[in-house]
Structure 1
Amino acid sequence: MKFSLTMILLGGLAVRAFAQPVLIPAPQTMTLHEGHFAPGTNTTIVADKWFAHEAAALAQLLHVTVAGKGAGAASHQSAIRLSHDSTLSNPEEYVLDITGKTVLIRAKDAEGAFDAVETIRQLLPADGSVAPLPGLHIDDYPTYAWRGMHLDVSRHFFSIQYLQKLIDRLALYKMNKLHLHLSDDQGWRIEIKKYPLLTERGAWRTFNNQDSACMRASKDNPDMAIDPGHIIHKDGKTLYGGFYTQEQMKALVAYAAARHVDIIPEIDMPGHMMAAINNYPFLTCNGENSWGTLFTKPICPCNESTFTFAENVFKEIMSIFPSTYIHIGGDEVDRSDWAKSAACKALMAKEGIKDLPGLQSYFINRMEKFFNANGRKLIGWDEIIEGDVSPSAVVMYWRTWVPAAPAKAAAAGHPVIMAPGEPLYFDRPADQYDLFNVYHFNPSRTAPAVGAQACLWTEMVPTEARADFMTMPRLTALAENLWTHDTTRYTDYLQRLGKEYARMDAMHIHYRLPDLQGLLNDYVFTDAYALTIPSPLPGCTIRYTTDGTAPVVSSPALPATYTVTTNQQLRVAAFSRNGERGDVYTLNFTQQALLDPVATGGQTGLACNFYTGSFKNTARMMEARIDTAFTTDTIAVPDWVHAPAFGIDYTGFIEVPQGGIYTFFLNCDDGGVLHIGPYTTVDNDGNHSARERSGQVALKAGAHPFDLRFIEAGGGYKLRLRYSFNGSAPRDVPGEWFKQP
């Protein structure tokens, strides 16, 4: 059941005593009161003319009937009433009153009435059955208008059926935008009748390096196997792909509209167009189609044939998608070929365009005028503001390494939608901090925003199960952030989420199980270590292996206390009642004696070397020339660092006040490695998004050699080192502990 409840007797009748409802997102205000409403065969719904569709949805949910047109005069006698209320002040606002005799929904617009229906859906049992509704009063509305989810269907393809499930999920949690990334270098996914080769050939590929990486990962995780439903054999080749016909997508648009979810199509231009250029090479400036230094070569903004193609494509897109908004991408463009083109040089001279970013803006501006002439608004990734772009264009911010972009866009008059890679790129592996970071993200911290959305890029998301795993339950945290936006409710949210997993099970969502709490990557012990891991959810079993393989459902269950007395590697994972596996954790145990201290000069601080350049790992950094030397007593990227890619080596000593086992937590974006004494204490190396790795070292009181190497490849500038002693709460390392060599 959705509620924990007891049965009491009132007048000889059994009556449910309801606990706090589990609602995500939490309503702005909610008051519980005595009584309940029990829908039955005699229950009818009467709705004002504005809410006929919402009344039908509610009737289907509660298995009741909608009163006919002639029932309006007797509406005061109806058990359920949907009433239009123009006095409500907020868009999508609704008021829900449930008493022992009636359910009254008042709403300003159809969106608000539908949000009320979804609230009632969450008040019902997770299995979809009908049960009494608790007595309550809710006054509710969203904080942000744009509450979105993005799905990349180009890198890996997803069925219409999965998109329908995703739309149902968005509607349940009161999200209202689905942004579909329909084209990219790896595949063109929407039928364009004017250019049939886009899908006849452009929707299919032989396995690429991303597919190969997924296949390798599938040896440890079946969610990473390439979906066989999207593989065909043609002309002696094995091909991966798929596309949506226009009729399929029109039906999906209608399905979403019935749930008040707006589908935003994205056709990425002028870059990310290899799938199109492969089949229509006239789109480039020189007929070539290849990878440049970082990205593929773009279409040419200096030939009229390019604009003819683009306008023809978007005419058909507009015939499929009624959304006011169309996303044109506009990101990651390798403009080098434009600089070599005689046609581009002539156009720049004719139009007074000063540089290549300006040439890209010329393309974006022409396309925006075309959109506007057809009653649509253009959205682009935040690169579009690098040139002179019309203020009416909507800017979607993603580049966390350009923190001034949202404020710059807002100052220029652009509406801003926040989708920063950290924390809203859900293709980045989740850890124990993700729910907190998503829930506490402030879309309007640096500039006013119309809302935000999460993005799921699918280079390493080859299946629907993996897509579920990467998005859920993070999506619920974002839903509450954008709807209620009250960080003081976080603890309550976690409690509600713990009960919400039953609904996710009923919806067959392959969600990520909650993190196993308190685990480290590398453990150190002097004599023995007693490992205890609490279950993340009722009914879960923790299973383990010691041979390096990932646990499976038949692996042994971890005892309540697992004692380690020798060096070994343990791999553990939680399994739900139905056999779904959570994250696999690799725990390394090493026996150490307490390390003897060394003498130091005693001056506070660390000697630091700064290196300019892009490094794949910290070892490569140490081969480079030192750019700048400085001293510091703080492990953080200095404020004066503005290089897009760099590395820092912090060396000296760490002087600990007492002997014992010290745990260090290194959180960085990109890579970092911590050495204390002769040991690699934390290995968080490589180019990756912000993540934390941990390790331990056994130290006697006194000073010990310290070396922390950090690299940033361009992005987050995240660097933080914390410590714990004998199980204490993690805290920043005190500056006075650091001593110069």
Structure 2
Amino acid sequence: MSIKPLLCLVGCLLVGRVAGAQSAGAAYPLIPYPTSLVPASGSFAVTGATRLALPVGDKFAQEGQQLQHLLANGLGKPLPTAKLATANSIALVYDPAITAPEGYRLTITPQRVTLAAKEPAGMFRAVQTVRQLLPPTIEKLGKATTLRLPAVQIQDQPAYSWRGMHLDVSRHFFSVEYLKKYLDLLALYKFNKLHLHLTDDQGWRIEIKKYPELTTLGGWRTLNNQDSACIKKSKDNPDFALDLKHLRQRNGRTEYGGFYTQQQLKDIIAFAAARHIEIIPEIDMPGHMMAALRAYPALSCTGTATWGKEFSVPLCPCNEGTYEFAQNVLSEVAALFPSRYVHIGADEVEKTTWAQAGACTELMQKEGLKNVNELQSYFVRRIERFLQSKGKKMIGWDEVLDGGVDASATVMYWRTWVPDAPLRAARNGNQVVMTPNNPLYFDYLPDKNSLAQVYQLQPTPPALLGTDAAKAILGAQANLWTEQVPTENRADYMVLPRMTALAEVVWTNKPDFAAYQRRLKAHYPRLGKLGVHYRVPDLGGFVEESVFTTSTQLAVQKPLDNLTLRYTTDGSVPTAASPVLAKPLAISQPTTIKLAAYTPEGLKGDTYTINYKQQNYAEPARTQAANAGLMATYFDGYFPKSAAMQQATAKGSTVVNAVAVPMQAETDKFGVQFRGYLDVPTTGIYTFYLTCDDGGVLRIADRMVVDNGGLHSAIEKSGQVALAQGLQPFALDFVEGGGGYSLLLKYSLNGSAPQPLPAGWLRH
């Protein structure tokens, strides 16, 4: 969607004042930040005598009730209502001049408050702005005598029409109550789409009346490897324990599962609609269908529900019974969900069984299909035509482009390693929702850089800016896949606060990360009142693998003043009863400290393990390294750990002038060994920050500095080493297990700000 011009009440003369308004974040800690905010003096006092003035008719009746509920929650009783706005009143006003569908105007003076909109969705967004300007205490029933709203003039509208969040309820299941909590958080931050991933290999979560065994059989499973991994992690973190309410005993076996009845889904849909959020259902097909095939195995080409080479065996596109089944299922889905969209996934399809099926060979010859990718497109097009007959618009993941897709389909771009997909989709005439796996897959573990990475997202790719193709971009969405998210607490942790960064990116025309960070601090108390198990902000001032020569001290930097730091020195995990770290801690012996922060509500942050080692400055190597750059030796193949490259045969080697993967090495799965020296200019304690996806291990001066090994998403880990001036041996092993990679190495000296490793330091 192209960014529409602001309908400005106060005119262009205010542009200068508006541009600097984000600096007023302390007084107006709004996320997302409004399109236009003009600070004013004073405040409006909401008391039991304040009147709520509603427009004649019922256009904003629902939004008026929602505002009444918020205020009553804070004051302990509802406000009296009136037909006309007077002094000491809060008025909801219809304004036909506000053209944006979700646009609104909010004016707060010491005398009155006016919320103006043309559409109910705009009025609801205005109510949420008022909600954020009110104290967090309104989120729980209170009995305040006065609530204050700061005087301000706001005009607001979103930059993008698709502002979405996703929740996978198939891998691990979530209650109706949690879905409503999730929706309320989306509403608070002005999202308007919830993409609900209802079916996958691990579970079928929607009642289909024509096929009851989809839920009686496909809705339950014996514990799988994902469950086992979560159970193992739950020994250190209870948020990984499987939710007991989703377990049952059947025929002597423990089974995990659950599903939503159609009546429950109607209730959830109505809850979302009241918050002007559209729920988009996803029924993944033709792949990711093992849960359905467990109930109806004849729908596959092999008559079985098994795993193929990489993914599960899919539906058979060469059997007319498959289309009858799909159409019957989608008919019930289309009738249940009022959304104009139905998502069919169409990603990660194991096509080997199609290539081996005689019926598929015959169909491909009959239809003139050259390969199995075009066979998938044949399936997708038939399903899309059926959905169109039901008045629906089809969405698919960007794999639908591979064999060709009609321009009428909407494409969700997720594969960052296929960077031209959005442009190809736009040129094909498809509308596009941006959901790149990095940084918008919120199942990827967060670290201290995660918020910045989300905030720096450009929903319209730079290659499309300034072209007609930019109009194809509807907006962006973050996805929470739940293989490793078995509980509601863990879902909260993975989503928040990252969700707030995305909210601002897709709403605000000119985001400001520093101002956003300041405003975000005011949101943690509100999230606490809402019972959100958010990720506590990262502590700073230390390195996980720390080094000292004679002595040092642990001086922790707290991102929030109200955090309480607790620590241990015996290797145990800190608890709420552990000693408080109230001042810097002197370190003069090698030791391990475990550290965690607690919020006033008792929420525990991440546990940090800080290993202190005593080192002498490593003597420089007695060698000559006259050549610039590092030697990069690269390997093809899958290496779960970097050490596995030692037994492999190298594909080749080249010289690189930065710690970066050479183009010759790039394949789906590969490994690289970087070898050489660092020409260290100054003796000191150096900190290295290694970000990688997947694994990386850094050694300098034959000392382990950073172990960021294993297969994982992009995470930064840090470590220190004491180095004397001169040439120091450098070894970095990096492996990529598939699906796109990240590799970044920075350094700092004696606590300075991190910066890229200078090319002039690299020698071999």
TM-score of Structure 1 vs Structure 2, range by shorter chain: over 0.9
1:169 shift after superposition = 0.7
Range with greater deviation from structure 2 (598-607 or 47-56): 47-56
Give the conservation status (yes or no) of the 8 Å contact 1:59–1:66: no
Give the whole-Å Cα distance in 1 for the aligned partners of 2:586 and 2:92.
Answer: 61
Give the conservation status (yes or no) of the 8 Å contact 1:531–1:561: yes
SS in structure 1 at match of 2:385: helix
- List aligned pairs for 1:129-140, cutoff 5 A: 131-140=147-156
Please tell me whether residue 24 in structure 1 is matched to residue 37 in structure 2: no
Match of 1:719 in 2: 743
Residue type of the alignment partner of 2:499: L
- Of the three residues 303, 310, 324, the one matched with 2:319 is 303
Give the whole-Å Cα distance in 1 for the aligned partners of 2:244 and 2:308.
Answer: 32
SS in structure 1 at match of 2:692: strand
Q: Aligned pair in 2 of structure 1 residues 66, 419: CA closer, same or farther (>3 Å)?
A: farther
Give the whole-Å Cα distance in 2 for the aligned partners of 1:210 and 1:482.
Answer: 33
- Of the three residues 517, 522, 525, the one matched with 2:545 is 522
Q: Count residues with an aligned counterpart.
A: 719
Q: Aligned pair in 2 of structure 1 residues 208, 19: CA closer, same or farther (>3 Å)?
A: closer
Please tell me whether residue 615 in structure 1 is matched to residue 624 in structure 2: no
- List aligned pairs for 1:72-221, cutoff 5 A: 79-128=89-138, 131-221=147-237
Range with greater deviation from structure 2 (558-567 or 650-659): 558-567
Once the two structures are superposed, residues 487-532 of structure 1 have per-residue CA deviations (whole angstroms, 9 ceiling, x without a partner) of 3x21111111111111111111111111011332211111122111
Once the two structures are superposed, residues 687-720 of structure 1 have per-residue CA deviations (whole angstroms, 9 ceiling, x without a partner) of 2111111111111111111111111222333112
1:136 shift after superposition = 1.6
Residue type of the alignment partner of 1:261: I
Structure 1 residue ranges without an equivalent (≥5): 1-17
1:604 shift after superposition = 1.5
Give the whole-Å Cα distance in 2 for the aligned partners of 1:116 and 1:66.
Answer: 20
1:48 shift after superposition = 5.2
SS in structure 1 at match of 2:521: helix
Match of 1:56 in 2: 65
Give the conservation status (yes or no) of the 8 Å contact 1:184–1:268: yes
SS in structure 1 at match of 2:137: coil
Match of 1:46 in 2: 54
SS in structure 2 at match of 1:319: helix
Give the whole-Å Cα distance in 2 for the aligned partners of 1:270 and 1:586.
Answer: 45
Q: Return the TM-score normalized by structure 2.
A: 0.91
Match of 1:567 in 2: 590
Structure 2 residue ranges without an equivalent (≥5): 1-24, 73-77, 465-469
Once the two structures are superposed, residues 167-194 of structure 1 have per-residue CA deviations (whole angstroms, 9 ceiling, x without a partner) of 1111111011111111111111111110
Residue type of the alignment partner of 1:162: Y
SS in structure 2 at match of 1:100: coil
CA RMSD, 1 decimal: 1.9
- List aligned pairs for 1:252-331, cutoff 5 A: 252-331=268-347
- Of the three residues 471, 475, 478, the one matched with 2:502 is 478
Give the whole-Å Cα distance in 2 for the aligned partners of 1:622 and 1:48.
Answer: 77
Q: Aligned pair in 2 of structure 1 residues 652, 58: CA closer, same or farther (>3 Å)?
A: same
Match of 1:6 in 2: none
1:641 shift after superposition = 4.8
- Of the three residues 528, 545, 550, the one matched with 2:568 is 545
SS in structure 1 at match of 2:322: helix
Give the whole-Å Cα distance in 2 for the aligned partners of 1:637 and 1:281.
Answer: 44
Residue type of the alignment partner of 1:320: L
Match of 1:591 in 2: 614
Match of 2:75 in 1: none
Match of 1:491 in 2: 514
Range with greater deviation from structure 2 (475-484 or 530-539): 530-539
- List aligned pairs for 1:638-677, cutoff 5 A: 638-639=662-663, 641-677=665-701
Please tell me whether residue 690 in structure 1 is matched to residue 699 in structure 2: no
Residue type of the alignment partner of 1:248: Q
1:461 shift after superposition = 0.6
1:67 shift after superposition = 5.7
Give the conservation status (yes or no) of the 8 Å contact 1:44–1:78: no
Give the whole-Å Cα distance in 1 for the aligned partners of 2:50 and 2:420.
Answer: 59
SS in structure 1 at match of 2:675: strand
1:619 shift after superposition = 1.2
Please tell me whether residue 228 in structure 1 is matched to residue 244 in structure 2: yes
1:65 shift after superposition = 5.8
Q: Aligned pair in 2 of structure 1 residues 19, 295: CA closer, same or farther (>3 Å)?
A: closer
Once the two structures are superposed, residues 446-473 of structure 1 have per-residue CA deviations (whole angstroms, 9 ceiling, x without a partner) of 4432111111111111110111111111
Give the whole-Å Cα distance in 1 for the aligned partners of 2:133 and 2:192.
Answer: 20
1:80 shift after superposition = 3.4
Residue type of the alignment partner of 1:80: I
Q: Return the TM-score normalized by structure 1.
A: 0.94
Residue type of the alignment partner of 1:571: K
SS in structure 2 at match of 1:456: coil
Give the conservation status (yes or no) of the 8 Å contact 1:663–1:724: yes
Q: Aligned pair in 2 of structure 1 residues 280, 352: CA closer, same or farther (>3 Å)?
A: same
Range with greater deviation from structure 2 (678-687 or 372-381): 678-687
1:343 shift after superposition = 1.0
1:87 shift after superposition = 2.3
Give the whole-Å Cα distance in 1 for the aligned partners of 2:710 and 2:250.
Answer: 39
SS in structure 1 at match of 2:594: strand
Give the whole-Å Cα distance in 2 for the aligned partners of 1:584 and 1:78.
Answer: 49
1:673 shift after superposition = 1.2
Once the two structures are superposed, residues 336-379 of structure 1 have per-residue CA deviations (whole angstroms, 9 ceiling, x without a partner) of 00011111111111111111011111111111111111110111
Q: Aligned pair in 2 of structure 1 residues 725, 360: CA closer, same or farther (>3 Å)?
A: same
Give the whole-Å Cα distance in 2 for the aligned partners of 1:660 and 1:512.
Answer: 34
Give the conservation status (yes or no) of the 8 Å contact 1:607–1:629: yes
Q: Aligned pair in 2 of structure 1 residues 247, 517: CA closer, same or farther (>3 Å)?
A: same
1:60 shift after superposition = 2.7
Please tell me whether residue 440 in structure 1 is matched to residue 456 in structure 2: yes
Give the conservation status (yes or no) of the 8 Å contact 1:215–1:226: yes
- Of the three residues 245, 259, 268, the one matched with 2:261 is 245
Give the whole-Å Cα distance in 2 for the aligned partners of 1:518 and 1:331.
Answer: 43
Give the conservation status (yes or no) of the 8 Å contact 2:567–2:595: yes
Match of 2:705 in 1: 681
Give the conservation status (yes or no) of the 8 Å contact 1:543–1:558: yes
Match of 2:413 in 1: 397
Residue type of the alignment partner of 1:204: W
Q: Aligned pair in 2 of structure 1 residues 626, 131: CA closer, same or farther (>3 Å)?
A: same
Give the conservation status (yes or no) of the 8 Å contact 2:115–2:123: yes
Give the conservation status (yes or no) of the 8 Å contact 1:48–1:82: no
1:380 shift after superposition = 0.7
- List aligned pairs for 1:699-738, cutoff 5 A: 699-738=723-762
Once the two structures are superposed, residues 555-600 of structure 1 have per-residue CA deviations (whole angstroms, 9 ceiling, x without a partner) of 2223512222232222211111232111111112211111111222
Q: Aligned pair in 2 of structure 1 residues 137, 678: CA closer, same or farther (>3 Å)?
A: same
SS in structure 1 at match of 2:313: coil
Give the conservation status (yes or no) of the 8 Å contact 1:218–1:224: yes
Once the two structures are superposed, residues 396-450 of structure 1 have per-residue CA deviations (whole angstroms, 9 ceiling, x without a partner) of 1111111111111111111111111111111111111011111111111244321
SS in structure 1 at match of 2:506: helix
Give the whole-Å Cα distance in 1 for the aligned partners of 2:648 and 2:31.
Answer: 51
Match of 2:527 in 1: 504
- Of the three residues 37, 40, 44, the one matched with 1:33 is 40
Residue type of the alignment partner of 2:702: P
Please tell me whether residue 343 in structure 1 is matched to residue 359 in structure 2: yes
Give the whole-Å Cα distance in 2 for the aligned partners of 1:507 and 1:426.
Answer: 21
Please tell me whether residue 365 in structure 1 is matched to residue 402 in structure 2: no
Give the conservation status (yes or no) of the 8 Å contact 2:32–2:500: yes
Give the conservation status (yes or no) of the 8 Å contact 2:100–2:157: yes
Give the whole-Å Cα distance in 1 for the aligned partners of 2:26 and 2:261.
Answer: 47
Give the conservation status (yes or no) of the 8 Å contact 1:667–1:690: yes
Q: Aligned pair in 2 of structure 1 residues 52, 600: CA closer, same or farther (>3 Å)?
A: same
